[in-house]
Amino acid sequence: EIVMTQSPASLSVSPGERATLSCWASQSVSNNLAWYQQKPGQTPRLLIYGASTRATGIPARFSGSGSGTEFTLTISSLQSEDFAVYYCQQYDSWLNFGGGTKVEIK
């Protein structure tokens, strides 16, 4: 089983600042990696698939990079609506989610 590890577990960022979230896979998942945003009481929302392709309607301030075992989600300038929990998911072999990174207001 591929294990997905996200770091940090939580991140305090001021509005307008850049946030960088990391996700590691225990073995290569190629570029079969997605990122999701989940706000309290809401359904997860797909942000990125294929490691770097933004899903429909996702603002350009969200970008994904990486391949193999190391991946990054960058939010270039945090808006108030971006404070949420972010999950990575590999879909190369079965399906696994990382434990999540909570982005909080500083």
Q: Which residue has the tokens 């899903």?
A: 55
The correct pick among 25, 69, 89, 103 for binding other proteins (CB under 8 A) is: 89
Q: How far apart are CA 92 and CA 12, in angstroms?
A: 31
The correct pick among 14, 43, 60, 80 for binding other proteins (CB under 8 A) is: 43
Q: How far apart are CA 88 and CA 96, in angstroms?
A: 8
Decide: is 48 part of the binding site for other proteins (CB under 8 A). Answer: yes
Nearer to other proteins, 48 or 103 (CB): 48
For other proteins, the binding residues (CB under 8 A) are 1, 32, 34, 36, 38, 43-46, 48-50, 53, 55-56, 85, 87, 89, 91, 94-100
